[in-house]
Chain A
Amino acid sequence: MLKEPIRPDDELHSKTSFGTDIQGAPELKSEIMTLNVGPQHPSTHGVLRVVVDLSGEQILRLTPHIGYLHTGFEKNMENRTYTQCITYTPRMDYLHSFAHDLAYALAVEKLVGAEVPPRAQVIRVMLNELSRIASHLVFLGTGLLDFGALTPFFYAFREREALLDLFEWVSGQRFHHNYIRVGGLKEDLPEEFLSEVKKFLAVMPHRIDEYEKLFRESPIFYERAKGVAVIPAEDAINLSLTGGSLRASGVNYDVRKAYPYAGYESYSFDVPVLQGGDVYDRMVIRILEMRESVKIIRQAVERLEGLGPGPIRDPNPQVSLPPRELLETSMEAVIYHFKLVTEGFHPALGEVYVPTESARGELGYYIVSDGGSMPYRVKVRAPSFVNLQSLSYACKGVQVADMVAVIASLDPVMGDVDR
């Protein structure tokens, strides 16, 4: 539980009138202003609606209202085969959509016991990290926009555009990639893809330095963000905060290190941890994380070049479609193909939870199988949703101008919150 439970009513009453220091002066009455922000508002990062009680410009209480983007993805997935479900996963967190694809695929693979070939594993990690950088770029651009700085937004989107071009090249889609399949990938990387990634890697570290300079050394930014909306480590843990926001509070928890998946244990990278727990550290830690992602991508590219061509899907015909050319020669392949396309595969009875590290925090898929070809129940542990509950805690007592900065620093994606 929180150390200091928010008891708004007491506080409201205590603040409704100013104390009178001067003898005989009439008591000044002041009112609490209730301000509704959103769901359509320039800086709530989607359709988040918050209702704030203000005393002057200071926030006494903040109540987030969510659900404006509720789409029922989880329920819908109960009526789709495991393969069809992949169309839903990237639509939840449209900024770091490879993370959702990957988390879902990992969960189902655990359920059916599929083996992912090494080449596919490395490609998954590479794309996941590229996507993490793209997500952090949006975070930085829009986050700094909330501080009134217009220019970083366009700079960040320049690099993100390059990344989206890469994603479009590999999967045919800029946002909703649907590239990862249960047991592997949809298809192999296009030719020359690695050299394009290398070109990006050559540019990106300088650009990261540039972004860092744009805001980290700015005295105005320091003044506005340092020490604002501090979430101490203990409270961060109690609020189930994860991801960069948790690590900015001094807790070293990264699922990629704590519960490695997709071969993350074999890459060498650091987990940046900052101690401040304020908006400033939550912004800066994303810069540091981008540097680590670049490291991972570099290693992945080297590995892919070392591995050479190879299978990118589990050869088990019960999970993944047989190669096209086999359909003309093998009756068995035709049967498997027919079964997979018409009804999909049937995992054994059971349930599974796989945590992963998305750009926003711990992203887990909890899937229950009743033995059928469709999941009995899918529950996503969405980091945006869980992190958002820190908002009213962090915003207590801050200025209304800082509220948007706090929202930005917690990095919620409303698709991920409402699902």
Chain B
Amino acid sequence: MTDPLWMVGIKAFLVVFGLLTAFAYMTLIERRLLARFQVRWGPNRVGPMGLLQPLADAIKSILKEDIVPTKADKVVFVLAPVIAITFALVGFGLIPFGPKGAFFGFDPWVINLDVGILYLFAVSEMAVYGIFLAGWASNSKYSLLGSLRSSAALISYELALGMSLLAPVMLVGSLNLQDIVEWQDKHVWLILPMFPAFVLFTIASMAEAARTPFDLPEAEQELVGGYSTEYASIKWALFQMAEYVHLITASALIPTIYLGGWKMPGFIPDIPYLWMFLKIALFLFFFIWIRATWFRLRYDQLMRFGWGRLFPAALVWFLVVAFYVALNGGKA
């Protein structure tokens, strides 16, 4: 039984709204946490504990002068951030937050696709277009270098990402996220049998969201702003949004596939929403922690790591799981 279309629309709106709010507060939380790691206070002036800071940032970025460089390709220049944010937002709707009917009698997900993981891949792969077109249309050398870096890195990490996801998918025998959650509830969290895939997927997700140590596209030390160097005002903010939404989606996808989704094992009650939010928060914290601690890899090292280590490791693990599943007659 699926929800009526009007309900899907409402839920889609809620997800977009929720993601954008989450982005706004993610920036604040990240800044506050980074500050804690770095023996300082962080933004704490606007509102109590700086809680209104995202609002102030939003007002600022909307009111700033919106500059389009004279020699830029104007249509593509405006289109690029829109592409980036659109494809960042459409992936999240698949994540289940509870059992059927947990959302006021409706399903706590926007849509349930049997090819869920495939769909997620497709839209996250599209993100590269936003970045690449931005760099291309800006007609600036910094932007071009930044966008080339990102595109190359994204494509090489996409492979490892896919390979590391195929292994659990083979074991479960479904691309549907709900089925994966159910399977984990019946058997065991996939992190235990699939630990290598979990590690590989987490690393590849960091690269996907362009976080330290893979934040080359916006390596401000050498490339100023990377692909978004020429962007200002709300268009720049859209790129930021896209990046954080990617991060949030990754933080939701990892627990869904490897950590039992919205369910908890054994005697712990399965509370819809709560466990999922906690798991997402855990991974977001982990990503911020990494950012405060690590150095940035160099472009060629990143590529070598992606193609030379991550991809072969994912491939080997994929083959191991494939043999296991084949020997068990196609069943886990």
Contacts and interface: CB of A to CB of B under 8 A. Distances in A.
A221 interface: yes
Contacts of B39: 154-155, 158
Given A224-B295, A399-B298, A148 B215 contact: yes
Contacts of A149: 293-296
Contact of B300 (A35, A37, A57): A57
B52 interface: no
Interface string A258-289: 00000000000000000000000000000000
B3 interface: no
A218 B294 contact: yes
A212 B149 CA distance: 31
A221 B298 CA distance: 10
A307 interface: no
B291 interface: yes
A56 to B, nearest CB: 9
Given A148-B213, A150-B291, A41 B297 contact: no
A148 B301 contact: no
A400 B295 contact: no
A39 B205 CA distance: 36
Given A42-B220, A401-B219, A224 B297 contact: yes
B300 A148 contact: no
Interface stretch (A89-97, A139-147, A164-172, A319-327): A139-147
B224 interface: yes
A223 interface: yes
A148 B38 contact: no
A144 B295 contact: yes
Contact of B38 (A37, A57, A155, A223): A155
A148 B224 contact: no
B48 to A, nearest CB: 24
Classify the interface of chain B: helix, strand, loop or mixed.
helix
B221 A221 contact: no
B195 interface: no
Considering residues A42, A145, A158, A221, which has the most beta carbons from chain B within 10 angstroms of its beta carbon? A42
B71 to A, nearest CB: 16
Contacts of A402: 298
Contacts of A145: 221
B299 interface: yes
Contacts of A220: 213, 294-297
Contacts of A37: 222
A147 B40 contact: no
A399 B302 CA distance: 13
Contact of B219 (A144, A148, A153, A221): A148
A158 B40 CA distance: 9
Interface string A35-67: 101000111000000000000010000000000
A35 B144 CA distance: 11
Interface string B186-213: 0000000000000000000000000011
A151 interface: yes
A153 B34 CA distance: 12
Contact of B222 (A218, A223, A404): A404
A150 B298 contact: no
The contact size tier of chain A is 20 to 34
A88 interface: no
A223 B297 contact: yes
Contacts of A35: 141-142, 145
Given A35-B141, A151-B37, A43 B297 contact: no
Interface in A64-82: none
A341 B38 CA distance: 49
B147 to A, nearest CB: 13
Nearest to B225: A42
A143 to B, nearest CB: 10
B292 interface: yes
A149 B291 CA distance: 8
A400 B292 CA distance: 24
B141 A148 contact: no
A155 B292 CA distance: 12
A200 interface: no
A221 B37 CA distance: 19
Contacts of A224: 295-298, 301
B149 to A, nearest CB: 8
A364 B40 CA distance: 39
B216 to A, nearest CB: 8
Interface string A387-402: 0000000000001111
Nearest to A154: B38
Interface in A379-419: 399-404
Interface string B273-298: 00000000000000000011111111
A215 interface: yes
A148 B221 contact: yes
Given A154-B38, A154-B39, A220-B213, A57 B224 contact: no
Contacts of B219: 148, 401
B40 A43 contact: no
Interface string B25-48: 000000000100111100000000
B221 A150 contact: no
Contacts of B145: 35, 57, 400
A41 B295 contact: no
Contact of B293 (A43, A151, A399): A151
A35 B148 CA distance: 15
Nearest to B37: A151
Contact of A33 (B34, B37, B38, B141): B141
Contacts of A399: 298-300
Nearest to B34: A150
Given A148-B215, A148-B295, A220-B213, A400 B222 contact: yes
B295 A154 contact: no
A401 B299 contact: yes
B212 to A, nearest CB: 6
A90 to B, nearest CB: 28
Contacts of A151: 37-38, 292-293
Q: Kindly list the 6 A-B residue pairs having the minimum CB-CB distance in the complex, ordered from nearest.
A: A148-B296, A154-B38, A43-B221, A220-B295, A147-B295, A149-B295
14 contacts: A42-B224, A57-B149, A149-B296, A151-B292, A151-B293, A220-B294, A220-B296, A221-B295, A224-B298, A400-B222, A401-B219, A401-B221, A402-B298, A404-B222
Interface of B: 34, 37-40, 141-142, 145, 149, 212-213, 215-216, 219-222, 224, 291-301
Interface of A: 33, 35, 37, 41-43, 57, 144-151, 153-155, 158, 215, 218, 220-221, 223-224, 399-404
Given A43-B222, A57-B299, A150-B34, 10 more contacts: A147-B295, A148-B294, A150-B38, A220-B296, A220-B297, A399-B300, A400-B145, A401-B299, A402-B298, A403-B222
